[in-house]
Structure 1
Amino acid sequence: MARINFIFTIHFHQPTGQLEWINRRIFENSYKLLLDIMKSYADLKFTVHISGPLLLWLVDNYPEWINEMARLGDYGTIEFLAGSMGEAILPLLPSEDRYYQVREYLRFFEKIFGYKPKGLWLPERVWEPSLPEPLAKNGIEYVFIDDSTLYRAGQSSDNAYYAWITEEGGKIVKLFFIDTALRYILPWRTSEEVFNYMLSKGDEEGSRVIVWGSDAEKFGEWKDAEWARWWLNDFLSKIRSRRHEINMVHPLEYLREYGARGLMYLPTGSYDKMLEWSNGFFRNFLIKYRESNNMHKKMLWVRRKLKNAPEVAEEAWRYYHLAQCNDAYWHGLFGGIYLSHLRQAIYEYYLKAERLAEEAMDYYDEEPLHIYYTDFDYDGRNEYLFETKKLNLYFKPDDGGTLFEFDIKAKKLEHNIQDTMTRYWEPYLEGVKFNPDWYRRVSLRIHLWAPDTSIWDWINNTPFKDQSDLALKRYNTSLTKDNELIMRALGGHYVYGIEPAKILAEKKIRILDEGLLTDYRIVNHGNRLVNTIIGLEYHVAPKIDRTGKGEPIGYEVKDGFHRSNEYWVGDYDKVVIKSSVYPDIILESKNTEQVWVAPLNSLARTDKGMQEIFQGIAIMFVKNVELKPREEFRSTVKYYVAP
């Protein structure tokens, strides 16, 4: 008779920055239900992981739930798994951070539960061969990864049903493999179908083990709670009567009884869908999405300051670790790079850590303004970084001379107001009327629009409306003795059938106490008249109220307040971005005729289907001009946060 051991692993996770009402809904629909089920079947054995960000939230909001889970651990019903404090993708981090992420989770878990787990849930099961060392140094004995990683190594499928040993530099960790097929049928098929599949992987010896590991939200959130309760009761009650065939075990219990099968080395990997979304390698998300790379490189920049800060507060490192939470750095069916509130939380936590580090090392005592000309984003070309006690302003000369990060560091106001999201082509958009953005949606970009261009053409990327190459030009730069940044580019104005006209664009940028002032100069160096709409483009990310208690965000123009999803075109030179949880963000222009204001929305696939997701408010100051040879256009735009 075939027998098999069964490890039933439930992964509880909500990301850093999750909306409060979503956390509470999921708790009511799913987490309470699962606690009730485990209490009802306390004679069975469950394996549980609670992510660091969620554990922090639960301790503050539902301590009794935590206490009940701890009691089930003491009783022997639950074996808990460790994790990384911020539920970070460990291989993305500097090697030292990989160790500290796990160490900090263990320290926090021990404060609550009184002991340290021996196993680890690997975030998104992203595995790289370097991981055994930081895990073993933290006392981690085993880790769960997906069987797809095993198969990428050319291993036999039979090997997925045993524990194995791997090592790096002599540091050992044991491996369990989550069964992909089981993950797809449990809980979506009947109990008998699940049992039949599990037993098909067993043998008469009974030394094999099959692992199910997946999200708690499958029970009560993805499908309704009534169905989830019925399914779990049916499944677990039958498990009780079939213990002679299907033995529910904890991982440590299995290792004590059967040990590891042998030594194995594995390549990089993750679960099957993640490999599809990332084109086989998680780090590819940093290449596909410039916004993901920006957050990752912000992490490295802040880390340098933390390491240089003497006796920096432990709180700063906690913010830093929570900002490494994986969800905002990627996208597939899940992943949250398109979710503004998650990205905003990442920057908020990095900025809190950065401010505390700067305070600890008296960063601005001698120099109130720090200027760096360095390759911030690691693309081989330098960026300008301006830092004051209140602000960070980052400029990218080779991408149209744009402003790509605008941080406010004041206490309780930490926010990157330039954290807007470019609309990328995604495979699921096939057949959808959609033109992806042909440039990164940031600020200070210059366009020379065709005279018939409208706000709809701009925001929806109608082809061939920008008749210049200035938007994407590489700008030459210089700094004045007063620390003003000057960026210049020589581009062209192109109209089919006539001679191109050379156009000089210049931006002179002054750093203000609360923002920046940009003087624009556009000169016709061609031999013909240039008839165009000059557009000075900005994007703003209003601060989102994650508690859900505030008023809607929007903007004020001449005729009053507009919600963030409303379009506006008018003869006005000022836009005020409004949020109930943040001071006004203001843009004022001189010598422009109109302003176009539009919502920047992206289409993204989620577990709830295709959704339009707000990414920010797009603003274009425009003027119709006819520039004769040697004539110039000048304008000034002030972009700042109200004091």
Structure 2
Amino acid sequence: MGKLLFGVHNHQPVDNFREVVDSAVERAYRPFIEAAAKVERFKFALHFSGWLFEQVKLRHRELFELIRKLVERGQVELVTGGFYEPVLASIPGDYRKAQVEKMNAFLKENFGVEPKGLWLTERVWDDSIVKDLTELGVEWTAVDDYHFIAAGFEREELHGYYLTESEGRVLKLFPIDKRLRYLVPFKPVDEVSGYLKGAKGLRTLFDDGEKFGVWPGTYSWVYEKGWLRSFLELVEAGEVETLHFSQAAEEKASGIAYLPSVSYYEMGEWSLPAERFKELQEAKELLEREMGPGTPEKLLRGGIWKSFFVKYPESNYMHKRMLKLCSLGVKSGRFTENLLKSQCNDVFWHGVFGGIYLPVLRDNFWRYTVEATKEAAEAGRLKLPLIEDFNLDGLEEALIRGEELLVGVGSLAGAVVELSLLNPPFNVQAVVSRHTEGYHIYSRQRKKENEGISTIHELEATFKAEDVPRDWHRKDSFICHFCPNPVTEEELLFERFREVGDFANQPFELKLLGSSVTAERRGALYLEEGVFKTVVRKSFTPTGRGLLYRQEIESDFKGKLYHLLELNLHFTEIPRLGRKGGTVTLEDKNLGKRIKLSLSVPFELLLTPLETFHQSERGLERTLQGVTLGFLIPFRGSLKTTVNLEVENV
């Protein structure tokens, strides 16, 4: 008989599309729980992220009541976690506690339970969380067996649970079996049963509920072809015995463990820069050939979850804007609730799912964050304008406010990194650059299995690497390029124009001047004729309903050049473009806003879509992030330009 701890984790990002949630309920959450309810011997742990649980209660009441019934008869053990599914190690301790306390209160109010186990978001482990969790009454959590392997354990010896401590606070850790993660529900039930019967001791599986119907091919395999029915028949027949985690936690521990700051192995791979990802895969192949399967994960490791803040500057800016607000000490329920929602993990990273590349996730983050920013300013806790390195990247950022806009200016390129409309909250600058991902430059041929279906980790991207545009600078706004020849829209789209200046990805010096921010860089133009000192001065001034941008260029080179002023703007749809003389308009009817840009000098307008090619659970996806505007202006030696940006309601 195989003994198994079985846990299901169900999650949808906060304020995800209603049709996506409903589809997940009908294809995975409901049929799984209804099937499980017919086999009372099947004991399992169940975790819903808080916002999703609220949606189930509000709009899928029959399912909610079925879960209550299973809890009451002791078949389901409910598990707590951060209510809005944050990575707990990435947020301050008081907000970490607030997230878990909110979930505990929901479970107590609706089910009358006080959970002792916690679902650890993305299994991102750091022992800094132990003290807070134990103070909240958490006794156990589940992490991957890889956490233990990274600490020197052998996979074969991992069973039951282990004890760890931080500052003398003790927490029980159940190692999730990676082999089971790839067997259930993707391989025939006989393989699962055989593995459990041959495994030593009690094995743990705690994984995404979406794999039981939402992931590609799983609905047919799990329900129509009978995988789940066959598995539950094994449980009912006693060939597989399932226990509750709380039962197992009463037994003796298997030992003590101190774990490094890691997540599951694939997460470490995804968090690496593309070239390091490729090198890691090649090193794994070499080690497997020379030393056998299972060796690479013992000796090779990728990054940590927080490495995504290094890989994606956009993620780092969002995260640090959130942390800055957390530090202000605002005592307001509405403020706290907005910040708790902004901490939902999905927007900060990217692996198999869209993550940071999904506009809806960034839009939701900025809605909560802008609301919290307004509340902090109204409470007198946030004084604007300000300049400080709240990005913690060694370079200062400025944040200024007008009647209708919040404007963030970064030192790098002296560019606008945030352009948030206040009513309704929407960040027009919330685009993401076309980052090079590991799967753009590396693809491993996988052996085709004879039976079962592929997991999302085994899906192959289908595209040519040379077809994927990649950016060599951040896609912010008011970026200064210098080119010896006119630039075409195709060159702008693929970033293939010749750049002769050092202003598009190098730091400017920021200063406050009243309510304005100035940015200055003393750089150079690098031409065949030589290197020519050049100064670019910028100023950003909030106006009643917009932003006034002034720019001065002075160069020792007096020949003809082209200045390309680049803006990258995000909308909820492709904006309608209009031009009359020196004024360009971009209208988003869905948002109900029109952005008007008026330039003081003649220009040629370039306009291209800003699209990313990224991996998702459905394969490669092409996602519109916004538009790139290029104002091409010829000049000799010096140039003064004024851009008036206005926001209008439509």
Q: Which residue of 1 aligns with 2:195?
A: 197
Query: Structure 2 residue aligned with 1:557, among 573, 578, 583?
Result: 578
1:277 paired with 2:298, answer no
Tell me the amino acid that sits aligned with residue 50 of structure 2.
G
Superposed CA deviations along residues 474-496 of structure 1, whole A, max 9, x for unmatched, are 3234444x433332223333333
Superposed CA deviations along residues 124-167 of structure 1, whole A, max 9, x for unmatched, are 00111222211111111110100000111112334421112211
Q: Which residue of 2 aligns with 1:567?
A: none
Runs of 4+ in 1 over 4 A off after TM superposition: none
Given the two structures, how large is their TM-score scaled by the length of structure 2?
0.87
Q: Which residue of 2 aligns with 1:298?
A: 321
Q: Which residue of 2 aligns with 1:451?
A: 485
Give how far 1:572 is off: 5.7
Q: Which residue of 2 aligns with 1:549?
A: none
Give how far 1:112 is off: 2.0
Query: Structure 1 residue aligned with 2:435, among 424, 437, 457?
Result: 424
Q: Which residue of 1 aligns with 2:58?
A: 60
Query: Structure 2 residue aligned with 1:392, among 391, 402, 406?
Result: 406
Contact 1:408-1:414 at 8 Å conserved across structures = yes
Q: Which residue of 2 aligns with 1:562?
A: none
Superposed CA deviations along residues 421-448 of structure 1, whole A, max 9, x for unmatched, are 0111111112511342111101111112
Query: Structure 2 residue aligned with 1:408, among 410, 421, 424?
Result: 421
Give how far 1:357 is off: 3.2
Q: Which residue of 1 aligns with 2:590?
A: 580
Q: Distance in 2 between matches of 1:64 and 1:318?
A: 28
Helix, strand or coil at the partner of 1:176: strand
Helix, strand or coil at the partner of 1:283: helix
Q: Distance in 1 between matches of 2:114 and 2:375?
A: 29
Q: Distance in 1 between matches of 2:37 and 2:4?
A: 19
Query: Structure 2 residue aligned with 1:215, among 208, 212, 215?
Result: 208
Give how far 1:596 is off: 1.3
Give how far 1:339 is off: 0.9
Superposed CA deviations along residues 291-313 of structure 1, whole A, max 9, x for unmatched, are 111111011111123x1x3x41x
Q: Distance in 1 between matches of 2:143 and 2:312?
A: 26
Q: Which residue of 2 aligns with 1:382?
A: 396
Q: Distance in 2 between matches of 1:477 and 1:356?
A: 26
Contact 1:421-1:615 at 8 Å conserved across structures = yes
Q: Distance in 2 between matches of 1:47 and 1:484?
A: 55
Query: Structure 2 residue aligned with 1:44, among 33, 42, 45?
Result: 42
Tell me the amino acid that sits aligned with residue 554 of structure 2.
V
Superposed CA deviations along residues 76-95 of structure 1, whole A, max 9, x for unmatched, are 12111111112111111122
Check 1:291–1:17 CA distance in 2 against 1; reply closer, same or farther (3 A cut). Answer: farther
Q: Which residue of 1 aligns with 2:643?
A: 637
Tell me the amino acid that sits aligned with residue 538 of structure 1.
L
* Runs (5+) with no aligned partner, structure 2: 272-301, 442-463
Q: Which residue of 2 aligns with 1:566?
A: none
Contact 2:354-2:615 at 8 Å conserved across structures = no
Give how far 1:234 is off: 1.0
Check 1:504–1:385 CA distance in 2 against 1; reply closer, same or farther (3 A cut). Answer: same
Give how far 1:338 is off: 1.0
Check 1:474–1:153 CA distance in 2 against 1; reply closer, same or farther (3 A cut). Answer: closer
Give how far 1:352 is off: 2.0
Helix, strand or coil at the partner of 1:407: strand
Helix, strand or coil at the partner of 2:83: coil
Contact 1:17-1:344 at 8 Å conserved across structures = no
Give how far 1:59 is off: 2.7
Question: Counterparts in 2 of 1:118-133, with a 5 A limit?
Answer: 118-133=116-131
Q: Which residue of 1 aligns with 2:292?
A: none
Q: Which residue of 2 aligns with 1:506?
A: 537
Give how far 1:535 is off: 1.4
Check 1:97–1:536 CA distance in 2 against 1; reply closer, same or farther (3 A cut). Answer: same
Query: Structure 1 residue aligned with 2:516, among 484, 490, 497?
Result: 484
Q: Distance in 1 between matches of 2:335 and 2:228?
A: 42
Q: Which residue of 1 aligns with 2:453?
A: none
Superposed CA deviations along residues 18-58 of structure 1, whole A, max 9, x for unmatched, are 22222222222112211221222233212111012312332
Q: Distance in 2 between matches of 1:459 and 1:89?
A: 35
Q: Which residue of 2 aligns with 1:494?
A: 526
Q: Which residue of 2 aligns with 1:100?
A: 98
Q: Which residue of 1 aligns with 2:633?
A: 623
Give how far 1:196 is off: 0.6
Q: Distance in 2 between matches of 1:357 and 1:64?
A: 40
Question: Counterparts in 2 of 1:76-475, with a 5 A limit?
Answer: 76-202=74-200, 208-222=201-215, 223-229=217-223, 230-241=226-237, 243=238, 245-256=239-250, 258-278=251-271, 279-305=302-328, 307=329, 309=330, 311-312=331-332, 314-334=333-353, 336-359=355-378, 361-362=379-380, 370-388=384-402, 390-397=404-411, 399-410=412-423, 413-430=424-441, 432-433=465-466, 434-462=468-496, 465-475=498-508
Q: Provide the alpha-carbon RMSD of the alignment.
A: 2.1
Give how far 1:335 is off: 5.3
Q: Distance in 1 between matches of 2:253 and 2:218?
A: 39
Check 1:147–1:490 CA distance in 2 against 1; reply closer, same or farther (3 A cut). Answer: same
Tell me the amino acid that sits aligned with residue 351 of structure 1.
V
Contact 2:159-2:254 at 8 Å conserved across structures = no
Q: Distance in 2 between matches of 1:473 and 1:175?
A: 46
Q: Distance in 1 between matches of 2:355 and 2:235?
A: 36
Contact 2:403-2:545 at 8 Å conserved across structures = no
Check 1:390–1:172 CA distance in 2 against 1; reply closer, same or farther (3 A cut). Answer: farther
Give how far 1:7 is off: 1.2
Q: Distance in 1 between matches of 2:252 and 2:587?
A: 61
Check 1:191–1:466 CA distance in 2 against 1; reply closer, same or farther (3 A cut). Answer: same
Greater Cα shift, 601-610 or 15-24: 15-24
Q: Distance in 1 between matches of 2:489 and 2:35?
A: 55
Give how far 1:179 is off: 0.1
Helix, strand or coil at the partner of 2:527: coil
Contact 1:589-1:636 at 8 Å conserved across structures = yes
Tell me the amino acid that sits aligned with residue 66 of structure 2.
E
Q: Distance in 2 between matches of 1:513 and 1:159?
A: 67
Contact 2:396-2:510 at 8 Å conserved across structures = no
Tell me the amino acid that sits aligned with residue 211 of structure 1.
T
Contact 1:572-1:594 at 8 Å conserved across structures = no
Q: Distance in 2 between matches of 1:348 and 1:466?
A: 36
Helix, strand or coil at the partner of 1:319: helix
Contact 1:553-1:579 at 8 Å conserved across structures = no
Tell me the amino acid that sits aligned with residue 407 of structure 1.
S
Helix, strand or coil at the partner of 1:618: strand
Helix, strand or coil at the partner of 2:305: coil
